[in-house]
């Protein structure tokens, strides 16, 4: 019998009514004869509330206790969804990450899944049960609870789908699929019917929060098709699968943004190249992604960081400063990144020029511009980022041409 994995995000489980509604979607798949594994996020904004509680108690909570705290959100969801299924006469069992056999490394707060022992899940499926697994969590080799980074339930779902050789992984969320930009802020964004793992990875890495970037890597290795679809509206959603097809047209596939970015400048060093390498190694060991730019004509390295990573990076930098690898650290907040995403961007210098022209024409001040093989990124004032994304979306010809707007 074929196995499918279904994943429900926080908004889809935001109330007991919604949990009952999602249980119906699970039942529908069991009726089609599938073995079903369900992965759930915490209800609504529970994880944010838990983070806030920790902040009220401690200025620097230890990661072990944070993971202990944050993992409770998903535990509420597994038990309630399992009860909802049982109430409808469906045999179901709930599992925490550890009970589901999800082994991670020990980078608490942002752990990577290393292995999954699926034997317990398979036993329960063989008994005809639906298995409901807590997303976003696993267990380290020391037996501690770990979490996979914000949005990490998607990764639990695709990693389980890969380990179980599932026919597909359905990600249910609050939009109808993947769009050319975030439809919440760019109303003329259009839904993409299907895209390759590679293109999805580019969008997700640069800020399209609809799918956790690591989720794509697990699915790609084992070629599991991912369907991203709405929990509330009918529709085919977006299929993420296979490789990119060269269509010969414009290489731009979307516009992404990250609202809360901080800039940290490091200066007073002698060898910028080896400092950059040392920094990249340290950040990688903590699973932190950062853009690092060398300012032309200045002895400064600029790091662009997600707000949530800033404290950790500052403590790494302070250790390096004590070792006299450089002498100054300067921090700036209130910034955002907006990126034009495409394939082989480096061989299209016109995209960077066009991007700057569009932003300038719309009086959006560009503080920095950077380029990689998948994107051109501009740093702008946070207050201007949504306007910037909208103008770039229009400027690069991505606007929806039909009269209808994206349905949320």
Candidate residues 130, 132, 169, 178; the one interacting with ligand ADP per rule CB under 6 A: 178
With CB under 6 A as the contact rule, which of the stretches 141-149, 167-175, 217-225, 325-333 interacts with ligand ADP? 167-175
Single out the segment in contact with Mg ion by CB under 5 A; choices: 92-100, 151-159, 161-169, 298-306: 151-159
- Judged by CB under 6 A, the residue of 20, 184, 286, 294 near ligand ADP is 184
| Alpha carbon distance 79, 40 (integer Å) | 10
For residues 12 and 375, which CB has a smaller minimum distance to ligand ADP in the complex?
12
One residue of 120, 150, 282, 286 binding ligand ASP per CB under 6 A: 150
Per CB under 6 A, contacts with ligand ASP among 57-116 are 73
Count of residues of this chain found to bind ligand ADP when the rule CB under 6 A is applied: 19
Instruction: Determine which residue in the list 3, 4, 9, 77 makes contact with ligand ADP, applying CB under 6 A.
Output: 9
For residue 353, what are its two tokens?
């020029």
Using the rule CB under 5 A, which residue among 151, 183, 213, 342 binds Mg ion? Answer: 151
| 35-54: contacts with ligand ASP (CB under 6 A) | 41-42, 47
Instruction: Report the distance separating Cα 178 and Cα 241, nearest Å.
Output: 13
Nearer to ligand ASP (CB atom), residue 205 or residue 384: 205
Q: Which does 96 bind (CB under 5 to 8 A by kind): ligand ASP, ligand ADP, Mg ion, none?
A: none
73 binds, among ligand ASP, Mg ion, ligand ADP, none (CB under 5 to 8 A by kind): ligand ASP
C-beta of 132 vs 364, nearer to Mg ion: 132
What residues make contact with Mg ion under the rule CB under 5 A? 9, 151
What residues make contact with ligand ADP under the rule CB under 6 A? 9-12, 41, 151, 173-175, 178-179, 181-184, 203, 208-210
What residues make contact with ligand ASP under the rule CB under 6 A? 9-10, 41-42, 47, 73, 135-136, 150-153
């Amino acid at each position: 019998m074929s196995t499918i994995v279904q994943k429900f995000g926080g908004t889809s489980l935001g109330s007991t009514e919604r949990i009952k509604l999602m249980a119906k979607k699970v039942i529908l798949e069991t009726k089609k004869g599938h073995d079903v594994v369900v992965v759930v996020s915490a209800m609504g904004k529970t994880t944010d509330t838990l983070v806030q509680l920790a902040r009220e108690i401690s200025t620097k909570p230890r990661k072990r206790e944070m993971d202990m705290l944050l993992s409770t959100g998903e535990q509420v969801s597994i038990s309630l969804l399992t009860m909802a299924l049982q109430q409808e006469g469906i045999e179901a069992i709930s599992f925490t990450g550890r009970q589901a056999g999800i082994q991670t490394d020990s980078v608490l707060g942002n752990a990577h899944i290393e292995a999954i022992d699926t034997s317990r899940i398979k036993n329960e499926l063989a008994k005809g049960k639906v298995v409901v697994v807590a997303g976003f969590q696993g267990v380290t080799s020391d037996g501690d609870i770990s979490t996979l980074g914000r949005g990490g339930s998607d990764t639990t779902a695709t990693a389980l789908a890969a380990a179980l050789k599932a026919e597909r992984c359905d990600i249910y969320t609050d939009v109808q699929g993947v769009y050319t930009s975030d439809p919440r802020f760019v109303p003329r964004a259009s839904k993409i019917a299907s895209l390759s793992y590679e293109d999805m990875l580019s969008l997700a890495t640069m800020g399209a929060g609809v799918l956790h970037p690591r989720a794509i890597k697990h699915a790609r290795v084992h070629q599991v098709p991912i369907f991203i679809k709405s929990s509330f509206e009918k529709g085919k959603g977006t299929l993420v699968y296979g490789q990119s097809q060269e269509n010969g047209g414009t290489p731009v596939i979307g516009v992404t943004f990250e609202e809360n970015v901080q800039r940290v400048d490091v200066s007073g060093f002698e060898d910028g190249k080896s400092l950059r390498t040392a920094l990249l190694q340290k950040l990688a060991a903590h699973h932190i992604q950062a853009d690092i730019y060398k300012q032309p004509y200045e002895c400064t390295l600029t790091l662009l960081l997600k707000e949530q990573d800033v404290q950790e990076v500052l403590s790494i930098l302070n250790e390096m400063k004590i070792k006299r690898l450089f002498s100054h650290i300067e921090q700036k907040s209130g910034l955002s990144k907006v990126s034009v995403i495409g394939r082989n961007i480096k061989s299209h210098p016109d995209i960077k020029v066009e991007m700057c022209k569009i932003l300038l024409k719309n009086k959006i001040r560009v503080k920095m511009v950077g380029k990689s093989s998948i994107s051109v990124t501009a740093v702008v004032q946070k207050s201007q980022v949504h306007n910037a994304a909208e103008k770039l979306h229009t400027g690069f010809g991505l606007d929806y041409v039909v009269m209808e707007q994206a349905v949320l």
